[in-house]
């Protein structure tokens, strides 16, 4: 039986509120409710000093929703904005502790929309997510080349590989050492003028990882807040494919300036891309645009361009969704071999046609970022299950 928001709200009509409202359902402290299958996630806004006292309210809300027919998993978090300059709240499990972790229901808590200044990471002007609805469409390749193209345009750039399920950035940049730790902060590695951090630097290569939702949140938060990124114009985040916990975590934890969606021309990937767009829209992250990757075939010998089945689909879809179309990248052996060899094409051959295509996409994204496209607030989660 499909769970609806009305079902959840009816259950919360009998749950206590933190602020004197007749019920949690009627309280402004209640965040938007996220429902995915039988999983229900929401948060209750509070102040850090009241977090402990409100634990019974959180538990009562969880129990009320758990009793709704069809609900299989509930995650309710208390959230608060941390005053500038104060210490961060304690973290849950660290990514290192995730090695060999047990399977468990996962979840990420949505947060109320509240305005706050900056990107949420000190010194970082814009954080953008590069995402795709499904795996293998070239999201990591696009993120890496986009970051390099920003750099080529004189920007100070970081690249954060948040793909907890299959980090590609270590291979893309031929980086395999562990980051140095200075005090409580990790130093990002550097390559081709980019500051780089990957979940792949923190876990053993080839280790089978089972990530629980809170671990994903913890790992991503650490990579954002416990890495000395320094002053950056833009931090490009290579997201895990799909529309799961990590995406929600990023969208809720950090003030994302926007998301770039990567798709291949085929209809199936486009349907996935549509889901990706919808997910970011649901959490109020502006879509900066869609990139069509492996758009057409470029012959390595004669440069002849052959159209592929479905070519142009992303442009048409972007128009239908009233989303900017950022550009197309061909299916090219050079793009693949340079990436596999640890120096993506924009680093290896900056003057090539393909690098220019990435440059045009970077310029379009930067244009959107600096033309006043709205960003999102950065809430702090105080307590999580």
Ligand X SMILES: Nc1ncnc2c1ncn2[C@@H]1O[C@H](COP(=O)(O)OP(=O)(O)OP(=O)(O)O)[C@@H](O)[C@H]1O
Applying CB under 6 A, does 168 fall inside the site for ligand X? yes
> What φ, ψ does residue 267 adopt, rounded to 5°?
-60, -40
Applying CB under 6 A, does 166 fall inside the site for ligand X? yes
User: What is the C-alpha to C-alpha distance for residues 150 and 360, in angstroms, rounded to an integer?
Assistant: 10
Applying CB under 6 A, does 163 fall inside the site for ligand X? yes
Residue 245 CB, nearest approach to ligand X (Å) = 15
Q: Is 139 annotated as a binding residue?
A: yes
Applying CB under 6 A, does 359 fall inside the site for ligand X? no
Best CA proximity match to 188, nearest among 171, 170, 165: 170
Instruction: Identify the bridge partners of residue 127 per DSSP, sorted by sequence position.
Output: 235
Residue 138 CB, nearest approach to ligand X (Å) = 3
User: What is the C-alpha to C-alpha distance for residues 332 and 334, in angstroms, rounded to an integer?
Assistant: 5
User: How many Cβ atoms sit within 10 Å of the Cβ of residue 328?
Assistant: 20
User: Judged by CB, which is closer to ligand X: 42, or 325?
Assistant: 325
Applying CB under 6 A, does 57 fall inside the site for ligand X? no
C-alpha dist (Å) from residue 46 to 84, 192, 249, 312:
16, 43, 19, 47
Applying CB under 6 A, does 140 fall inside the site for ligand X? yes
User: Which H/E stretch holds residue 253?
Assistant: helix 245-253
Identify which range of 106-114, 120-128, 207-215, 324-332 contacts ligand X by CB under 6 A: 324-332
350: Cβ contacts below 8 Å, ≥ 6 apart: 152
Identify which range of 54-62, 71-79, 251-259, 333-341 contacts ligand X by CB under 6 A: 333-341
Applying CB under 6 A, does 329 fall inside the site for ligand X? yes
User: What is the C-alpha to C-alpha distance for residues 114 and 301, in angstroms, rounded to an integer?
Assistant: 54
Q: Is 138 annotated as a binding residue?
A: yes
Query: Can you tell me which of 39, 58, 126, 139 binds ligand X, judged by CB under 6 A?
Result: 139
Applying CB under 6 A, does 147 fall inside the site for ligand X? no
Residue 281 CB, nearest approach to ligand X (Å) = 21
Query: Can you tell me which of 179, 241, 258, 289 binds ligand X, judged by CB under 6 A?
Result: 241
Applying CB under 6 A, does 339 fall inside the site for ligand X? yes
Residue 128 CB, nearest approach to ligand X (Å) = 15
Q: Is 137 annotated as a binding residue?
A: yes
Could you tell me the two tokens for 291? 């990139």
User: Judged by CB, which is closer to ligand X: 336, or 385?
Assistant: 336
Q: Is 355 annotated as a binding residue?
A: no
User: Which H/E stretch holds residue 220?
Assistant: helix 213-225
C-alpha dist (Å) from residue 337 to 138, 258, 294:
13, 29, 14
Q: Is 136 annotated as a binding residue?
A: yes
Best CA proximity match to 346, nearest among 142, 100, 92, 70: 142
DSSP 309: T
Applying CB under 6 A, does 214 fall inside the site for ligand X? no
Residue 260 CB, nearest approach to ligand X (Å) = 12
Best CA proximity match to 124, nearest among 157, 167, 80: 157
Tell me the helix, strand and coil percentages in the chain, rounded to 5.
35, 20, 45
Applying CB under 6 A, does 137 fall inside the site for ligand X? yes
Q: Is 178 annotated as a binding residue?
A: no
Residue 241 CB, nearest approach to ligand X (Å) = 4
Identify which range of 182-190, 222-230, 318-326, 330-338 contacts ligand X by CB under 6 A: 330-338
Query: Can you tell me which of 331, 363, 373, 377 binds ligand X, judged by CB under 6 A?
Result: 331
Q: Is 71 annotated as a binding residue?
A: no
Q: Is 213 annotated as a binding residue?
A: no
Query: Can you tell me which of 61, 219, 294, 314 binds ligand X, judged by CB under 6 A?
Result: 294
User: Judged by CB, which is closer to ligand X: 157, or 239?
Assistant: 239
61: Cβ contacts below 8 Å, ≥ 6 apart: 12, 15, 24, 42, 44, 76
Applying CB under 6 A, does 293 fall inside the site for ligand X? yes
Applying CB under 6 A, does 347 fall inside the site for ligand X? no
Site size toward ligand X (CB under 6 A) is 21
Best CA proximity match to 200, nearest among 218, 173, 231, 181: 173
Phi-psi region of 58 (alpha: psi -120 to 50; beta: other; left: phi over 0): alpha
Best CA proximity match to 124, nearest among 255, 220, 247: 255
Residue ranges binding ligand X (CB under 6 A): 132, 135-141, 163, 166, 168, 241, 293-294, 329, 331-332, 335-336, 339-340
Binding-site residues from annotation for ATP: 133-140
Binding-site residues from annotation: 133-140
């Amino acid at each position: 039986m499909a769970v609806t928001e009305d079902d959840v709200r009816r259950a919360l009509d009998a749950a206590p509120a933190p602020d004197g409202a007749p019920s949690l359902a009627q309280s402004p402290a209640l965040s938007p409710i996220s429902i995915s299958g039988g999983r229900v996630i929401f948060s209750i806004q509070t102040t850090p000093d009241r977090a402990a006292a409100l634990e019974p309210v959180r538990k009562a809300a969880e129990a009320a929703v758990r009793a709704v027919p069809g609900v299989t998993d509930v995650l309710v978090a208390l959230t608060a904005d941390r005053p500038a300059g104060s210490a961060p709240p304690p973290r849950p499990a660290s990514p290192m502790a995730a090695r060999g972790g047990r399977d468990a229901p996962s979840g990420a808590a949505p947060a109320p929309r509240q305005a706050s200044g900056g990107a949420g990471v000190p010194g970082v002007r814009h954080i953008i997510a590069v995402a795709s609805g499904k795996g293998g469409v070239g999201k990591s390749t696009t993120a890496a080349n986009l970051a390099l193209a920003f750099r080529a345009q004189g920007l100070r750039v970081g690249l954060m590989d948040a793909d907890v399920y299959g980090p590609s950035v270590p291979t893309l940049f031929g980086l395999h050492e562990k980051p140095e730790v200075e005090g409580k902060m990790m130093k990002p590695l550097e390559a081709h003028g980019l500051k780089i951090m990957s979940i792949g630097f923190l876990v053993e290569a080839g280790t089978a990882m089972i990530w629980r939702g809170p671990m994903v949140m913890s790992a991503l938060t650490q990579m954002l807040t416990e890495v000395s990124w320094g002053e950056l114009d833009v931090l490009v985040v290579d997201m895990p494919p799909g529309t799961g916990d990590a995406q929600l975590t990023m969208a809720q934890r950090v003030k994302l300036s926007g998301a770039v969606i990567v798709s291949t021309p085929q209809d199936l990937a486009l349907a996935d891309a549509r889901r990706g767009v919808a997910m970011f829209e649901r959490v109020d992250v502006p879509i900066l645009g869609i990139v069509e990757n492996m758009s057409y075939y470029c012959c390595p010998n004669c440069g002849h361009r052959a159209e592929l089945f479905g070519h142009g689909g992303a442009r048409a879809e972007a128009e239908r969704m009233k989303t900017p179309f950022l550009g197309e990248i061909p299916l090219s052996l050079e793009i693949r071999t340079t990436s596999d060899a640890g120096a993506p094409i924009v680093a290896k051959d900056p003057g090539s046609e393909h690098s220019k295509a990435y440059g045009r996409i970077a310029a379009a994204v930067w244009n959107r970022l600096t033309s006043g496209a709205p960003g999102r607030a950065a809430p702090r989660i105080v307590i999580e299950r």
